[in-house]
Amino acid sequence: MAQDNNTSSRVSAATDSQQSEAHTGAFAPFHMPLSTMMGFQLDATRQWFKYLNRYMLLLWRLGLGGWLNAWPAALGRYMVLTHIGRKSGLRRRTPLNYALIDGEIYCTAGYGPGSDWYRNMLANPHVEVWLPDGWWAGLAEEVHDAERRTRLMRQVLIGSGFVAPMIGINPSHDSDAALATATTDYRLVRIRLTEARTGPDGPGDLAWIWPTATLLLLAALWRNRRAKN
């Protein structure tokens, strides 16, 4: 979007510094247990979602996270989870569907215990989340309560909007037994928000692109008009 070398360099540096990890995020398969998926099918699906989630993360960084959540009943609810790499120690970011229940965030690792963000969370439960109403620090933990799991999982899948129905599950109408079977391999995670965050490196950190691009466009139009005169 930027129009000169300095602006392009800022975009490149910001993108490199984010160390994003968007391959097992918002758009994970909800239609069958992982144990029934063939290896090539799982790999192909994860690769496709990886690229799609990178695009979603870019929208959040451009300050458009609120637009992604404009129609949650149809399009779903989306947040960005920031977690620390268990091996690298680097900050990673993953877009996820979520549900807000009793003031706490619930999300699911749709690829089961192999999801990188889930494994990072187990190693270091101190996370951050980008939500439509702000940026928060929090503590994450897995939910093991079998009695509550299906009810909470249902709300998270409803938060996926069109994705779950598109691939064969209807969280609003499927029975508890059917839903439990379909999510056998999933991991349900609760995030307790601890404090609001502010400062750089949060949602909208690339929003400076919009006024910069506008000024460059106006300058180009002005030069073009002068050249014609």
Question: 4-59: per-residue pLDDT in tens?
Answer: 444 433 433 444 344 444 545 655 544 445 455 545 555 666 677 778 889 999 99
Least confident of 79-88, 178-187, 211-220: 211-220
Query: What's the rounded Cα separation, in Å, for the pair 158 and 199?
Result: 32
Mean pLDDT of 106-121: 92
pLDDT tens-digit series, residues 164-175: 887 677 899 999
Cα separation values, 201 from 18, 55, 63, 125, 212, Å: 8, 18, 12, 20, 18
Considering the domain boundaries, does residue 4 fall inside one? no
Which range of residues forms the domain containing residue 24? 18-228
**pLDDT at residue 96 in the model:** 95
Inside any domain, residue 163: yes
Residue 154 structure tokens: 């249902």
Residue whose entry in the numeric block shows the structure tokens 């503590």? 139
pLDDT the model gives residue 118: 97
Bridge partner list, 192: 139
| CATH number of the domain where residue 114 is located | 2.30.110.10
Residue 9 belongs to some domain of the structure? no
Q: Cα(146)–Cα(124) distance, rounded to whole angstroms?
A: 24
Is position 12 within any domain? no
Dihedral angle, C-alpha 58, 56, 86, 35, nearest 10 °: -160
* Residue position matching structure tokens 């300058």: 219
Q: Write down the pTM of the prediction.
A: 0.77
Structure tokens at 111: 């690829």
Q: Tokens 């239609």 sit at which residue?
A: 31
| Assigned domain for 91 exists | yes
What's the rounded Cα separation, in Å, for the pair 183 and 18?
Answer: 31
Give the pLDDT confidence score for residue 219 in this predicted structure: 83
- Based on the structure, what is the number of domains in the chain? 1
Does 216 fall in a domain? yes
Residue 11 maps to a domain: no
Question: In this model, does residue 143 exceed pLDDT 50?
Answer: yes
Residue ranges of E strands in the chain = 78-84, 91-97, 99-101, 104-109, 126-131, 134-142, 187-196
User: Cα separation of 147 and 141, whole Å?
Assistant: 17
